[in-house]
Structure 1
């Protein structure tokens, strides 16, 4: 199924934010993760047909894709999550979006938590896939294996195809599902000089702050129905930290995928689309089953 995509750049007081859109219906905002070369379309393009009943909004977060790169001064003043929440709030205001459903993975999950905490009246449904910031590991040493691989990717001799293979190997439970062509494409997507410079600044700021913002302290402020999706074998943001969110988010449910790592939307695509479609399906105008299975 081919979907018509449009793109535009929204000017915010922080800098330009690149946004792709498709579909018509209740707004659904998809926030991508923070791995090397990530952007909104790269993370979710294959899932878009399942959400055809929505106005799907895909912003590239600050530092990624076609959006602006926060400076060292920006990252000293505020965390990447605080910056992203500000930029995305301005972007959604400019797009005329009031209430919306929100889905975020990893770094994008931290931004989704930040938005749902700061503006609970606007977020109608919340889907989180191994989100940063809302999580404290019970038994996993920090930094995790996946975090180490992300830090390592741009250091030393810089990006290589071998490093990208190692990165993907840690991100997923079964790296054999990725072809050499897909690895090469992800590698090439990581080579933008501006993104590389930003990633060094981001990693430095991350170390200075001692990790992600402690969003777990404010989980009780989330009022949206919340669906947690987690790979049992996630080695980046591990399942053992999910207990905090289950305890403190008011209306929450958790689905755990065996044989799955950090990229649920890729590794368990059909199940991901069915669960999210069912969860969002009682929104006005989406019909009985939301986006459907989209296998």
Structure 2
């Protein structure tokens, strides 16, 4: 069996009018673009590397780092004042895909990346073949209080003395149902990835802009514009973007199905990796 470390990644730094986007890819076949979430230290490879052996057997998997994360450029304060991070990301990603010669593609996004995926599917329905959303930001209407427990941990991470392994462990505990499956090595790796000074500076700007805008873009208003067949994947025990908020997507997206994982939090691709890979593969390969 191929392991994540044995998957051969091809890496690019793709110029766009906004700045460079770092992209890793592997595999051949229909293109599957996978967008990571917005936690501290996140990137395309770090969030999905464990899923690559299964998915690259069927797809050309494209893993961009979203603006502000990983190896991609950092939006400035004026950038974030002019447009939301979702609008910036959708613009930059589409330019990067154009530069890579990718016209039509399957699209998968989690959390912050789910918001960008929603925006792309709404604004460019001719480009998105099928859509997979894992607890996406912006398409969700919470029933309970906000910010949620997970959102509070994200905002808190770089505040009050800055990042630490203890704070990263607390962050991970809110992202998953059973944190015992993620040991000290996982905490340390994610903590070390969060220490880039330019990423920290961006995160402060991002949190301030998020607060000024009152949260994510209200992408739920345009869910009816999505024409791609859509699979929703959700952890029943998600404490960041809670399951109850999925109801509006089930009502407004015309071709949609939902799979709920019990005893699972915000990171379906990690907590239920094999089921995630099977569901995504079967859904994308099925005839439309």
* Shorter-chain TM band: over 0.9
Q: Which residue of 2 aligns with 1:133?
A: 138
Deviations 1:3-51 (A, max 9, x none): 2111010000000000001011111000000000000000000101111
Paired with 1:181 and 1:256, the residues of 2 have a C-alpha distance of 28
- Deviation at residue 278 of structure 1 after TM alignment: 0.7
Q: Which residue of 2 aligns with 1:61?
A: 66
Q: Which residue of 1 aligns with 2:258?
A: 254
Paired with 2:115 and 2:168, the residues of 1 have a C-alpha distance of 24
Deviations 1:162-213 (A, max 9, x none): 1001000000000000111111111101000000000000000000000000
Q: Which residue of 1 aligns with 2:84?
A: 79
Q: Which residue of 1 aligns with 2:99?
A: 94
Number of residues paired by the alignment? 283
Q: Which residue of 2 aligns with 1:291?
A: none
SS of 1:255 mapped into structure 2: strand
Q: Which residue of 2 aligns with 1:266?
A: 270
- Selected match of 1:142 from 146, 152, 156: 146
SS of 2:227 mapped into structure 1: coil
Q: Which residue of 2 aligns with 1:292?
A: none
Q: Which residue of 2 aligns with 1:287?
A: none
CA 1:247/1:155 → structure 2, altered by over 3 Å: closer, same or farther?
same
Gaps of at least 5 residues in structure 2 are none
- The 5 A counterparts of 1:1-295 are 1=2, 2-51=6-55, 52-138=57-143, 140-282=144-286
Gaps of at least 5 residues in structure 1 are 285-295
Paired with 2:46 and 2:186, the residues of 1 have a C-alpha distance of 11
Paired with 2:191 and 2:67, the residues of 1 have a C-alpha distance of 20
Paired with 2:212 and 2:227, the residues of 1 have a C-alpha distance of 31
Paired with 2:18 and 2:54, the residues of 1 have a C-alpha distance of 33
Write out the 4+ residue segments of structure 1 that deviate beyond 4 Å after TM superposition: none
Paired with 2:167 and 2:287, the residues of 1 have a C-alpha distance of 42
Paired with 2:164 and 2:249, the residues of 1 have a C-alpha distance of 36
Paired with 1:13 and 1:274, the residues of 2 have a C-alpha distance of 37
Deviations 1:117-171 (A, max 9, x none): 0100110100000000000012x10000000000000001000111001000000
SS of 1:70 mapped into structure 2: coil
Compare 62-71 and 49-58 and name the one that shifted more.
Answer: 49-58
Paired with 1:7 and 1:141, the residues of 2 have a C-alpha distance of 41
SS of 2:259 mapped into structure 1: strand
- Deviation at residue 281 of structure 1 after TM alignment: 1.4
Deviations 1:87-110 (A, max 9, x none): 001001001011100000000000
Paired with 1:56 and 1:184, the residues of 2 have a C-alpha distance of 27
